[in-house]
């Protein structure tokens, strides 16, 4: 039974006051809050276990190694992969860079194409832009419609960027035999658009069968059950800190046979097999991609976060967010009818994200005025400048929900949006 | 609403020195990458001093008021005057309370103006 009040009691920060008001935290899309169990697991590690992993034969090092291995197994189970296919990185951005450099530099040539979409966060855009520029490859960007949904058939356009050819259009305009990588988000961080991953994957397999597929799961894995095998993808990148874990740990899942063929990304300790003064061989997966001491406490925290999410249930979390979003969208539409705000984003297949502007008020001003009422929302371009500009504005306000948010918070938020224009009246 | 004092709302609603100078000696574009705000500043110079200033752009209340108020302060300033005015001068000018998250808004015009003397 999903009991939001019980869940809220697990998150110590939610009792905080901001400017004398109860905190209303609507920025989980940027980073989620952390339950006591996660904070406590990391504290316990530093107080009782702290020792470097691998090689150590003494008790604490063995325990540390065990805790990291346990987490790797649980992360693998969480997304439906194998333990050795889970690579710990710093965040989603690093996970995608790993693929763009390690796989991209070996496999993308002049004349090839990489397909991304207009929904992408800069983290799933710039690494590919730069790869294409390095290799003289073409960057193809799938358009969005006025609701922020990816278009299947669109108008093909060519933009001549700096040392890079960029083509835009619908999926069917852009997928062909030149495409070697299709990288797209499972859910837009700006508009909440949940992309039809399975359908798109089927289309890619048909029209660009030679291409690999990477999913940016930063906004997807924390909010819905994700299984890499049933999605039939090649890479999945996501961040621990958006799913109740600490900052500093990200994950790259990749298919074993592809990871095995890839060169290491970073070189140094722990990622080697045999070493002499002129060369080295590489360790097996996943160590090959994990040079240096990782964020051990962070990994342990992520492990605890996964256990916490399992305890609540991913389907229950998704349902709760769906209900909240439908409830909020209804109220936001009413504000739009009253000519107070403009809403952005899709009506259907939407995650817990509201994007809007108060009419005549800049997004930063709206966010700051809401902050004075204890409401934490984000404003700006949300690391997705081309998408925001696509809607004819320079910035948007964004409110994002997670398992601990409530209808009462939404009521309060709607009420306070009404206060915003009054400041400038 | 400590950030939205009357004077800021006044300059936001009635910005001073908005416009352009056709025969400007310097034209500077400055942007705030976190929100896409941009400002274009036109300046007439004489003996290294700002003689006239006009500006155009879109932005939030803080950046708009920052540009408007600054444009009333800088005529007659040379490079070192402007440098010693400083970002702290901008904060003081806006009433002394700008949180760290809004500093880029508050100093947008100021950062642009510094480039006049590059």
Same domain, A306 and A327: no
- Domain holding A335, by residue range, is 4-26+313-423
Q: Is B48 exposed, middle or buried (0-12, 13-18, 19+ CB in 10 A)?
A: exposed
The interface predicted TM-score (ipTM) is 0.85
Q: What is the pLDDT of residues A177-227, one digit of tens each?
A: 999 999 999 999 999 999 999 999 999 999 999 999 999 999 999 999 999
Q: Considering the domain boundaries, does residue A37 fall inside one?
A: no
CA dihedral for A171, A174, A176, A182, sign (positive or negative): negative
Q: Do B61 and A380 touch (CB under 8 A)?
A: no
Judge whether A33 lies within some domain: no
Domain residues for the domain of B45 are 6-117
Question: Cβ of B37 and A394 within 8 Å?
Answer: yes
CATH value at residue A15? 3.90.1150.10
Within this chain, do residues A299 and A332 fall inside the same structural domain, yes or no?
no
Residue B95: CB atoms within 10 A of its CB come to 16
Distance of alpha carbon A41 from alpha carbon A184, whole angstroms: 33
Quote the number of domains for chain A: 2
How far, in Å, CA of A374 to CA of A33, rounded? 16
pLDDT level of residue B59 (50, 70, 90 thresholds): confident
Residue A318 lies in a domain: yes
**Does A36 fall in a domain?**
no
* pLDDT under 50: residue ranges of chain A: none
Residues A151 and A246 in one domain: yes
- The yes-or-no verdict on residue B1 having pLDDT over 70 is no
- Residues A81 and A206 grouped into a single domain: yes
The answer to whether position B79 is within a domain reads yes
pLDDT confidence band for B3 (50 / 70 / 90): confident
Q: Are the beta carbons of A394 and B35 separated by less than 8 Å?
A: yes
Average pLDDT, integer, range B86-110: 91
In a domain, B1, yes or no: no
User: What is the predicted pLDDT for the residue at A197?
Assistant: 98
The residues of A annotated with a catalytic role in the active site are: 383
Q: How far is B36 from chain A (nearest CA, A)?
A: 5
One domain, residues A112 and A252: yes
Same domain for A228 and A325?
A: no
Chains A, B: CB contacts within 8 A come to 52
In order, the DSSP letters of A89-139 are: ESSHHHHHHHIIIIIHHHH--TT-EEEEETT--GGGTHHHHHHHHHHTPEE
In this complex, do A363 and B35 lie within 8 Å of one another by their Cβ atoms? Answer: yes
**A254 - beta bridge partners?**
A235
Peptide bond into A131 cis (omega under 30): no
Give the whole-angstrom CA distance, residue A193 versus residue A149: 6
Give CA angle at B52 (B47, B57), nearest 5°. Answer: 130
Q: Do A306 and A324 share a domain, yes or no?
A: no
Same domain, A182 and A192: yes
Domain boundary among A260, A276, A311: A311
Nearest chain A residue to B104, by CA: A364
| A364 chain-B contacts, CB cut-off 8 A | 35, 60, 62, 102, 105
pLDDT of res. B32: 85
Phi, psi of A333 (to 5 degrees): -65, -40
In this structure, are A368 and A388 located in the same domain? yes
Assign residue B26 the CATH number of its domain: 3.90.1010.10
Could you tell me if A381 lies within 8 Å of chain B, comparing CB atoms?
Answer: yes
Q: Do B35 and A364 touch (CB under 8 A)?
A: yes
The predicted pLDDT at position A77 comes to 98
Model pLDDT for residues B24-50, shown as the tens digit of each residue: 999 999 998 777 788 999 999 999 999
Question: Does B72 map to a domain?
Answer: yes
* Gap between the Cα atoms of A275 and B14, Å rounded: 70
A63 touches chain B (CB under 8 A): no
Looking up residue A162, the CATH number of its domain turns out to be: 3.40.640.10
Which of A265, A287, A311 corresponds to the end of one domain?
A311
Q: Which residue of A has its CA nearest to B57?
A: A394
Tokens 């002049």 belong to which residue? A110
B114 to A273, B19, B36, B101: CA distances (angstroms): 54, 19, 20, 21
Q: Are B58 and B37 in contact (CB under 8 A)?
A: yes
As for how many domains chain B has, the answer is: 1
Q: Same domain, yes or no, for A338 and A295?
A: no
Chain A residue closest in CA terms to B38: A394
In chain A, which residue's Cα lies nearest the Cα of B103? Answer: A364
Whether the CB-CB separation of A90 and A84 falls below 8 Å is answered with: no
Q: How far apart, in whole angstroms, are the C-alpha atoms of residue A61 and residue A67?
A: 10
Is A34 contained in some domain?
Answer: no
Angle between helices A363-371 and B61-73 (to 10 degrees): 110
State the pLDDT at residue B34: 73
Q: Given CB atoms, is A363 within the 8 Å cutoff of chain B? A: yes
């Amino acid at each position: 039974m999903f009991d939001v009040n019980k869940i809220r009691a697990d998150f110590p920060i939610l009792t905080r006051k901001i400017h004398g008001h109860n905190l209303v935290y609507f920025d989980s899309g940027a980073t989620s809050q952390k339950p006591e169990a996660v904070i406590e697991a990391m504290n316990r590690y530093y107080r009782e276990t702290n020792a470097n992993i691998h090689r150590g034969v003494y008790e604490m090092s063995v325990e540390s190694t065990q805790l990291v291995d346990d987490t790797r197994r649980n992360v693998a189970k969480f997304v439906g992969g194998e333990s050795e296919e889970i690579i710990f990185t710093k965040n989603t951005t690093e996970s995608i860079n790993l693929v763009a450099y390690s796989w991209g530099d070996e496999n993308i040539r002049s004349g090839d194409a990489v397909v991304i979409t207009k929904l992408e966060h800069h983290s799933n855009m710039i690494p590919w832009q730069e790869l294409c520029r390095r290799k003289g490859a073409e960057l193809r960007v799938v358009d969005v419609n006025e609701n922020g949904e990816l278009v299947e058939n669109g108008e093909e356009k060519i933009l001549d960027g700096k040392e890079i050819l960029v083509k835009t259009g619908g999926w069917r305009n852009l997928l062909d035999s030149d495409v070697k990588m299709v990288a797209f988000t499972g859910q837009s961080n700006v508009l909440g658009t949940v992309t039809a991953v399975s359908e798109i994957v089927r289309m890619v397999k048909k029209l660009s069968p030679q291409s690999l597929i990477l999913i940016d799961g930063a906004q997807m894995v924390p909010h819905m059950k994700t299984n890499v095998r049933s999605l039939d993808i090649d890479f999945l990148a996501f961040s621990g800190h958006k799913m109740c874990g600490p900052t500093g740990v990200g994950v790259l899942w990749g298919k074993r046979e592809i990871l095995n063929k890839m060169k290491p990304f970073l070189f140094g300790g722990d990622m080697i097999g045999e070493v002499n003064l002129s060369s080295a061989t590489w360790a097996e997966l996943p160590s090959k991609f994990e040079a240096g001491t990782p964020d051990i406490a962070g990994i342990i925290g992520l492990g605890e976060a996964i256990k916490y999410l399992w305890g609540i249930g991913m389907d229950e979390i998704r349902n709760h967010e769906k209900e909240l979003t439908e409830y909020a969208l209804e109220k936001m539409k009413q504000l739009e009818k009253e000519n107070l705000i403009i809403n952005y984003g899709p009506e259907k297949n939407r995650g817990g994200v509201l994007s809007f502007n108060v009419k005549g008020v800049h997004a930063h001003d709206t966010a700051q005025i809401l902050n004075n009422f204890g409401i934490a929302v984000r404003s700006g371009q949300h690391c997705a400048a081309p998408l925001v500009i696509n809607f004819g504005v320079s910035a948007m306000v964004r409110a994002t929900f997670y398992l601990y948010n409530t209808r009462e918070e939404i009521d309060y938020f709607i009420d306070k949006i009404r206060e915003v224009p009054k400041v400038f009246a | 609403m400590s950030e939205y004092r009357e004077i800021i709302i006044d300059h936001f609603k009635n910005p001073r020195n908005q416009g352009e100078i056709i025969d400007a000696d310097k034209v500077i574009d400055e942007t705030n990458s976190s929100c896409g705000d941009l400002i274009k500043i036109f300046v007439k110079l004489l003996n290294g001093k700002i003689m006239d200033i006009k500006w155009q752009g879109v932005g939030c209340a803080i950046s708009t008021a920052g540009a408007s108020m600054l444009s009333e302060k800088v005529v007659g300033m040379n490079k070192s005057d402007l440098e010693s005015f400083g970002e702290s001068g901008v904060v003081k000018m806006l009433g002394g309370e700008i949180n760290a998250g809004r500093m880029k808004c508050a100093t947008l015009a100021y950062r642009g103006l510094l480039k006049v003397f590059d």
